[in-house]
Amino acid sequence: MDILSKIIKKKKEELEYLKKNVSISKLEKSIYFNTKTNSLVNSINNRDISIIAEHKRKSPSKSNINHLTSTKDIVHGYEYGGAVGISFLTEKNFFDGSVEDFKEARKITKLPLLRKDFIIDEYQIIESKSIGADAILLIAACLNDTDILKLSNLAKSIGLEVLIEIHEIEELKKSSISTIDIIGINNRDLKTFDVNIETSLNLINKIPSSFTKISESGLNSSVEINKLKNHGFDGFLIGERFMKSQYPGKELSNFISKIKDES
């Protein structure tokens, strides 16, 4: 069984438990259901160098990344360091993510927050809104055409923007629908966790111009960012590059400065 299949299997077990213990009606009583969301799309498109900085404690490929820096320090660091938004991994079994970390971040920043998880059920869309998300991530590799339409429709109906992650042309074809706002090309194969930036370069010209386009994963150098920008990417989602430092926000700030200097 590949890594993605293991994660989805565990996610289904987790959802069974959550649905029994926290009802949708309870989730809908959250104050965030009456709060206007902040547009991640606008934030990306209004900045010359648009980096969605990620809060990620560990991953299946790299094990522990950063369990020392507090969520508060990470969020404030990213905000002052120049992030256009913050991506939060909330998957707990493989990434050590936490809905509680997300809630803490929502209380202390007005930056758009992307809930990044393995979303396969409408329950998770409602949950995302209830914890203060502005946008959600869908992963085309673990969803069929009907799932993508159903989940993105629900998200849009409650004011959430939708970023869909693709890895290949067939995933792009089923993802190019009107209820998707951002198409992200993930350079990491979620089945093997191998990384290849050529994935982004090979697919960028096939994405319709109506979508905001970002590149994700394995982005480490300013040279890569400028190359991808020149090929038409609007933004970038980067986590490990910053999280492996004790001061992620400072790393982000330095990285943006270097991109500007070399552009």
The residues that are catalytic are: 54, 56, 116, 165, 186, 216-217
DSSP state of 188: B
Round to whole Å and give the CA distance between 121 and 12. 9
**β-strand partners of 238:** 53
129 C-beta neighbours (distance < 10 Å), count: 24
Round to whole Å and give the CA distance between 59 and 94. 6
Round to whole Å and give the CA distance between 252 and 141. 29
Query: At residue 206, what is the residue type?
Result: K
Going through the chain in order, the beta strands assigned E by DSSP cover 51-55, 58-59, 63-64, 85-89, 113-116, 135-139, 161-166, 182-186, 212-216, 235-238
Q: Which residues does 88 contact at the CB level (< 8 Å), separation at least 6?
A: 54, 55, 97, 101, 102, 105, 113, 114, 115, 116
Q: Which residues does 48 contact at the CB level (< 8 Å), separation at least 6?
A: none
At residue 165, the 3 state secondary structure works out as strand
